[in-house]
Amino acid sequence: MTFTSASLYAKLKASKGFTLVELILVIIILGVMSVGIAGFITLSTQTYLNVTERDELLANARFVIERLNREIRNAVPNSIRIKNDTTSQCIEFVPIIASSTYINIPVAPEGASANITVIPFNDKDGDPYECSSCSDQVLVYPLFSVNSIDIYADQSDAIGKVFGLDAVTQTTTDEWTLTLDETSGVLFDDDSPTERLYIIHSPVSYCVKNNTIVRHANYGYLVNQSLSPIIFPNEPVLMAENIATLATSDLPFVMYPATLQRNAMIQIKLNFMRDGESIVFNNEIHITNVP
């Protein structure tokens, strides 16, 4: 087989590879495309991370606000008090374990008694209330006062509004007898206009400090509210982080006492900040419970 010079040249030309210029152009084009794609992926990833962090911040904020709403709405009337210094602030209240209507309580000039007759009632879980040396207390007609003295004051003198509960006895199907731990008898300061009686156990505090909000529980009653109500081993429980530094002119908890036109109200303003993101939650809680 013979090839002419023209056909051999055409065959050699057809079998050539890329030139150096062509390779450089391809590399440049691929580099430009890679930079564009990498920038798009980086932007998408950063957007996802920002949204995730914002959602986490919102979830933490909603959790603590909802928890505060539920607990404060279930607080004993006139038990809420607030204290702050330059770096922290606490809101304290006493949760209601159960409540009922009493039939008779000892009030002067009646004689002292260790027994109270009440209508049967349930606890906060909806079950019939039970107590056998449970360390709960009985409270009747707490009024508003500085430091909520009616609730937090020492009641060891057998005259007051709060007394320890020792036992509950089902006298009849329509009546229970609450036996107080003062065996010599007690005298309540006042009758409740609605004959309302509350069962309580211990205070609860929510404190904003060190850019966090923590919950204290299972500690004793103190006449003067504490900013660190801790009794070992009952360490505070962390409820949320990333709270902005307190400003004296913009405190997170503000209480408006009840008036003739409305019930008491708690205003909560929590400012959450992280990585430049700032979320401010404003919330008002109306206290519906009355003495």
pLDDT digits (tens, 9 = 90+) for 69-123: 999 999 998 999 999 988 899 999 999 999 999 999 999 888 999 999 999 999 8
* Higher per-residue pLDDT: 83 or 35: 83
Domain ranges of the chain: 53-91+205-220+235-286, 98-200
On the question of a cis peptide bond just before residue 109, with omega within 30 degrees of 0, the verdict is yes
pLDDT for 150: 87
| 11 — pLDDT class (breaks 50, 70, 90) | low
* Higher per-residue pLDDT: 271 or 233: 271
Task: Say if CB 96 and CB 199 are below 8 A apart.
Answer: yes
The rounded distance, in Å, linking the Cα atoms of 175 and 101 is 10
Q: What is the mean pLDDT of the chain?
A: 84
Share of the chain above pLDDT 90, in %: 36
| 134 — pLDDT class (breaks 50, 70, 90) | confident
The rounded distance, in Å, linking the Cα atoms of 287 and 124 is 18
Q: For 175-231, write each residue's pLDDT tens digit.
A: 999 999 888 899 999 999 999 999 999 999 999 988 899 999 988 898 999 998 876
Share of the chain above pLDDT 70, in %: 89
pLDDT (mean) for 153-180: 87
